Amino acid sequence: MAQFKQIVDVWYPIIQAPMVGVSTPALAAAVSNAGALGSIGLGASNAGQARALIQQTREMTDRPFNVNLFCHQPAVADPAREVQWLDYLGHYFTELGVLAPQQLESPYPSFSEQPEMLAMLLEEKPAVVSLHFGLPSGDWIEQMKAAGIRLIATATNVDEAVAIERAGLHAIIAQGREAGGHSGIFDPASDDPELGTGPLVQLILERCKLPVIAAGGIMDGRGIRAAQDLGACGVQMGTAFILCPESAADDRYRRLLIRREGLETRITHVISGRPARGIVDRWWRDVDSPDQPPCPAYPIAYSAGKALKRAGADSGQFGFDAYWAGQGAALAREMPAGELVRQLVEELYSPD
């Protein structure tokens, strides 16, 4: 716990993951008020929207919280590949009774392309900024550190962890392949992440001196204790918080997690152009195929993924839901976020 307090002064070594589309200011505030570190995801927001989310969270808590940004490599358009991808998805749109998009646009830029986002962070000074998919420039890192912001970033392998340490950040999130949502892998051309949370934590600790936060497949206090036994100073948990009433998960998402029977998660890259783990539906069964053409770059491919999901929902068909969840999804519990934090802490420190 002492190492975790070196990162941020909270009571308990638990971070609620910053799940874009699921996390909310209300969820982050409830977690922070309960003594852990709440988070909001800003990766799909512009600077104005991000500022509003930070201010909304501050209206509900005076405790530290984390904001997360995407540092993906800026997408390079490839019109020929994008047309081929839309042709490949075309019959699914036809089946749903809508036209496929005529072209694909990047739905949001990388943090590294948004100096206005950096300026906003330097003004708002959130307690913690976490980074996913890579790192911004060294100059930006130094400016945030000089503003008193604590910086953490996701690593899916040892090389990424070493890069985070060399960049001068304060801690490393070791994200195993069990984790739900997008892998934080730096290079999208690499193979899907292979390391599980346990081995990844140990391998990073062998090479790096920074505190390590375990992420992936951790759903209860026993999982937190196991991660700490491996040397992690704390954990990041996302799927565990989806069923909290403060999250933005829709009713179908919640029903799938509550039902539990037959719940399966796997990794695919066809929804967004980057590997991500979610509840298996037609994206995994039909679209992700050995015969598929090359997927457009992230996040350009995500435009098609979001359009197909929206078309399915509008027609009352839910085969393309793309609900992100980790391997422990069937262990998710339905309770208010503050109550869940208290339950996790009780389990963590229980002698049984």
Write down the CATH superfamily of domain 2-73+109-242+334-349: Aldolase class I (3.20.20.70)
Q: Distance between CA atoms of 232 and 237, rounded to whole angstroms?
A: 13
Q: What is the pTM of this model?
A: 0.96
Among 298, 290, 274, 283, which residue's Cα sits nearest to residue 190?
274
* Domain residue ranges of the chain, discontinuous segments joined by +: 2-73+109-242+334-349
Which tokens go with 214?
A: 């375990």
Which tokens go with 252?
A: 């179908």
DSSP 97: T
First-residue to last-residue Cα distance in the chain: 20
Tens digits of pLDDT across the chain (352 residues): 568 988 999 999 999 999 999 999 999 999 999 999 999 999 999 999 999 999 999 999 999 999 999 999 998 999 999 999 999 999 999 999 999 999 999 999 999 999 999 999 999 999 999 999 999 999 999 999 999 999 999 999 999 999 999 999 999 999 999 999 999 999 988 877 899 999 999 999 999 999 999 999 999 999 999 999 999 999 999 999 999 999 999 999 999 999 888 899 999 999 999 999 999 999 999 999 999 999 999 999 999 999 999 999 888 888 999 899 999 999 999 999 999 999 999 999 986 6
b vs e for 226-241, b when ≥16 Cβ sit within 10 Å of the residue's Cβ? bbbebbbbbbbbbbbb
Torsion of CA 315, 317, 321, 325, to 10 degrees: 150
